[in-house]
């Protein structure tokens, strides 16, 4: 089936995005030493990427809706891969901040354009599972990035690691440009039976025409007056706030605060992403199954509420336990719990506005990355000011509970067409 290869490309892309964005967390102690950076300065380096990523999410998602993921994703991946490699040339705090900002501007729009692509290549009944597989790629990339980066850094230094990781994106862009098509019916290997399966939700030619004609006419007024937009934004802000701890400070926390060796620290830094990958796939399967049997609200929103609330509970519990291994495992389970609702989060955007999935998911991911902008800074400030790792976990737990409540406000049955 052709659509399975589209899904393979999505899986590979999300893996590369996380390889490129998380490798800096493994390199952080070496960068701080070589460039004489404080913990607070390093937190601003982390957040420079997130700020740019937030600012350019909606424009990049909109471009995908208008011009198609074929061209837009090619340009996105080439841009961010180039700035991943340029990270290895940074000479100080300012240059590192500028490079990471431009890197974030390039990587913005990757996930909205993946969602846009999947909304065209998969029917509603398969979208949750498709999102789950695509998101699994991000967790595989996150799981491998720290151990691989540490191996490369030990062998050739932290600067070389960025060059190697950046080259992987260039390879993906070349393959995507040559193979992918924005519309399933335009692909030379598409069969009539598979096309009929993909388009099973389009009941007549009029709806297909409306789908095509609506690609460039974004209903901005309707979007900005719907309660769903703001509830989704609040929900994903909470997710991004907690998630970026794992992208940025987790290796440092495991090695410097909990006392793990670099080898053990790398293994425990990979564990959250391994468990989260399993949660993405199982959560994607469950959200589709529950939606088909009990309706979209149960399959998306109730599942998301349980996932986020449990995550907050696990984060809080980790502060009450003194054993280092138990803390590391609870943190890993917390990310897995949040990710159990991640497929539902991306699928609910395509449920609400399938014709403008790039814009809606771009808006959602903007707020997720705004959460990720503040998260690392709060941790850096708490370390420098109070020498505390516990306070950031309290804050993250509360924010996840608020995100869980936001899930209950979302109504995926109110579609914008």
- The tens digit of pLDDT for each residue in 21-60 reads 878 888 888 999 999 998 889 888 988 988 898 888 888 8
Q: What pLDDT, on a 0 to 100 scale, did the predictor assign at position 94?
A: 94
Assess whether pLDDT exceeds 50 at residue 204.
Answer: no
Confidence of residue 216 (pLDDT cuts 50, 70, 90): low
> For 167-195, what is the mean pLDDT?
93
- Which of 125-129, 207-211, 267-271, 355-359 shows the lowest mean pLDDT across its residues? 207-211
Assess whether pLDDT exceeds 70 at residue 394.
Answer: yes
What are the structure tokens assigned to 112, written together? 């909205």
Asked whether the CA dihedral 129, 80, 188, 207 is positive or negative, the reply is positive
Assess whether pLDDT exceeds 90 at residue 333.
Answer: yes
d(CA 10, CA 118): 8
d(CA 265, CA 267): 5
How many beta carbons lie within 10 A of that of residue 148, not counting itself?
19
- Which of 53-62, 292-301, 405-414 shows the lowest mean pLDDT across its residues? 53-62
**Helical pair 227-248 and 390-407, crossing angle rounded to 10 deg:** 150
Q: What pLDDT, on a 0 to 100 scale, did the predictor assign at position 296?
A: 92
- The residue ranking higher by pLDDT, 57 or 72, is 72
Confidence of residue 271 (pLDDT cuts 50, 70, 90): very high
Assess whether pLDDT exceeds 90 at residue 327.
Answer: yes
For residue range 234-250, list pLDDT tens digits in order.
999 999 999 989 988 89
Q: What separation in angstroms does the CA of 403 have from each of 125, 200, 307, 410?
A: 26, 34, 10, 11
CA angle 303, 304, 310 (to 5 degrees): 95
Confidence of residue 205 (pLDDT cuts 50, 70, 90): very low
Q: In the chain, what is the straight-line distance between the N-terminal and C-terminal CA atoms, in Å? A: 29
d(CA 277, CA 133): 8
- pTM for the predicted model, two decimal places: 0.76
Q: What pLDDT, on a 0 to 100 scale, did the predictor assign at position 203?
A: 55
The H or E element spanning position 358 is helix 357-386
Assess whether pLDDT exceeds 80 at residue 218.
Answer: no
Is residue 112 a contact partner of residue 358, using CB atoms and an 8 Å limit?
yes
CATH 1.25.10.10 fits 2-407, yes or no: no
Q: What pLDDT, on a 0 to 100 scale, did the predictor assign at position 34?
A: 93
What are the structure tokens assigned to 323, written together? 């054993």
- Domain range summary for the chain, segments of one domain joined by +: 2-407
- Which of 353-357, 370-374, 397-401 shows the lowest mean pLDDT across its residues? 353-357
Q: What pLDDT, on a 0 to 100 scale, did the predictor assign at position 417?
A: 63
């Amino acid at each position: 089936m052709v659509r399975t290869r589209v899904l393979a490309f999505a899986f590979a892309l999300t893996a590369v995005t996380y390889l490129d964005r998380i490798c800096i967390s493994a390199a952080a102690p070496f960068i701080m030493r070589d460039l004489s950076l404080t913990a607070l300065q390093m937190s601003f380096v982390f957040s420079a990427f997130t700020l740019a990523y937030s600012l350019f999410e909606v424009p990049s998602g909109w471009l995908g809706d208008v011009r198609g993921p074929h061209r837009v994703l090619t340009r996105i991946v080439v841009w961010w891969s180039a700035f991943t490699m340029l990270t290895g040339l940074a000479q100080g705090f300012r240059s590192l901040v500028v490079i990471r900002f431009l890197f974030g501007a390039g990587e913005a729009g990757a996930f909205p354009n993946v969602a846009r692509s999947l909304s065209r290549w998969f029917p509603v009944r398969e979208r949750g599972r498709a999102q789950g597989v695509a998101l699994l790629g991000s967790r595989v990339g996150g799981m491998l990035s720290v151990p691989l980066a540490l191996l490369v850094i030990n062998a050739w230094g932290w600067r070389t690691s960025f060059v190697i990781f950046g080259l992987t994106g260039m390879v993906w862009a070349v393959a995507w440009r040559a193979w992918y098509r924005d519309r399933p019916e335009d692909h030379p290997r598409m069969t009539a039976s598979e096309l009929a399966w993909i388009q099973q939700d389009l009941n007549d030619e009029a709806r297909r025409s409306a789908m095509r004609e609506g690609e460039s006419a974004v209903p901005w007024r309707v979007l900005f007056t719907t309660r769903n937009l703001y509830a989704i934004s609040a929900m994903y802000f909470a997710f991004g706030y907690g998630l970026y701890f794992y992208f940025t400070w987790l290796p440092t926390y495991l090695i410097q605060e909990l006392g793990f060796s670099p080898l053990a620290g790398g293994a425990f830094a990979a564990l959250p992403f391994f468990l989260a990958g399993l949660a993405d796939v199982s959560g994607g399967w469950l959200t589709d199954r529950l939606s088909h049997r009990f309706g979209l609200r149960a399959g998306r929103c109730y599942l998301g509420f349980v996932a986020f609330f449990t995550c907050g509970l696990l984060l809080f519990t980790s502060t009450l336990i003194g054993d280092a291994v138990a803390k590391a495992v609870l943190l890993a389970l917390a990310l897995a719990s949040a990710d159990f609702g991640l497929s539902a989060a991306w699928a609910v955007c395509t449920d609400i506005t399938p014709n403008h999935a790039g814009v809606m998911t771009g808006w959602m991911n903007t707020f997720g990355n705004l959460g990720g902008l503040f998260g690392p800074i709060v941790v850096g400030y708490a370390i420098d000011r109070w020498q505390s790792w516990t306070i950031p976990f309290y804050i993250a737990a509360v924010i996840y509970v608020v995100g869980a409540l936001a899930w209950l406000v979302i109504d995926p049955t109110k579609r914008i067409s």
